[in-house]
Amino acid sequence: AGPGAAGVGPGRAGVDAVSAPAQGGGSAVIDMENMDDTSGSSFEDMGEMHQRMKEEEEEEAEGEAGAGEEEDGEFLGMKGLRGQLGRQVADQMWQVGKRQASRAFSLYANIDILRPYFDVEPVQVRARLLESMIPVKMINFPQKIAGELYGPLMLVFTLVAILLHGMKTSDTIIREGTLMGTAIGTCFGYWLGVSSFMYFLAYLCNAQITMVQMLSLLGYGLFGHCITLFVTYNIHFHSLFYIFWLVVGGLSTLRMVAVLVSRTVGHTQRLILCGTLAALHMLFLLYLHFAYHKVVEGILDTLEGPNMPPFQRVARDIPVVSNAVLNTTAKAIALTL
């Protein structure tokens, strides 16, 4: 058994020796495979490390940039550049809007704007009043229109005063004041409303006229209305009114029509523009003479009720008993004194 075992031993040793190279080679192969796996994993680890380094460098760069912006912001006295710029823009817009609003509502600024339209001499106003009653003959070239509003504005106020005078001299019962608001609304409504409408119509008909010129032309055209109403309110004859309506009102209307004809090109455009202006101007004079007082009285009746007689104080008789009581009381007071 011993030698066998020994034989077996050397035999196994030989087998081990024989198998050793094979095992060594296998282990070598295994070690190569392990080396290959290890090399691949190390390569991936290097890539991850390189990526991490890049990310750390980018984070450091962003941190430095943020620190630089914070330092700049602290240097400029601002915490946020964008917020500060937004506030500055908002403040500038607010200041600009406030300045424009104050300029728009400034009295002196408005006076400076309106001053050229009211800078006129009384002699010029008188001459333009007379010219408003004389129709022009030359319509081949545009006629000159005064670009001022002093004369027209004074004529509108004069027409208001004449309407109030006519209501006092007529049989119209006036309550709650002199109805100045109604007269002002009627006159200014006609002047501004018809001027705006005619300017729009002139724009459609391609007439060469501005809004200020239209206001001046129509305002001076009211001079004939003032003369006609002032005379006919004091002299109540319908025939006299019709004569003044045709002559005085017709002359002022012809003046305006001739000026518009000289500034309009085309027969159809002239007919539409001038016919509309003449009809509105002449009908307004008829309305002021015949229907204005009745319309105002009807409005008052609607708002305040029918006419009521004024309140009168009536003396009442004192009874005899009360007289006796008063006399007794007076005597008692006299005795005590």
Q: What is the pLDDT of residues 95-136, one digit of tens each?
A: 887 777 776 666 555 666 778 888 889 999 999 999 999 888
Cα–Cα distance measured from residue 216 to residue 218, given in angstroms and rounded to the nearest whole number: 6
pLDDT tens column, 43-101: 455 666 767 777 777 777 666 655 555 544 444 444 556 667 777 887 888 888 777 77
- pTM score, two decimals? 0.58
- Which is more confidently placed, 7 or 120? 120
Min mean pLDDT across 20-29, 202-211, 243-252 is at 20-29
Average pLDDT for residues 149-159, to the nearest whole number? 93
Tokens of 276: 């509309």
With a CB cutoff of 8 Å and minimum separation 6, the contacts of 284 are: 190, 194, 225
* Residue-level pLDDT at 291: 81
Contact status, residue 248 vs residue 227, Cβ threshold 8 Å: yes
Contact status, residue 233 vs residue 183, Cβ threshold 8 Å: no
Average pLDDT for residues 139-146, to the nearest whole number? 83
pLDDT tens column, 245-257: 999 999 999 999 9
Question: Whole-number mean pLDDT of the chain?
Answer: 73
Per-residue CA distances from 67 to 50, 72, 81, 85 (Å): 25, 8, 14, 20
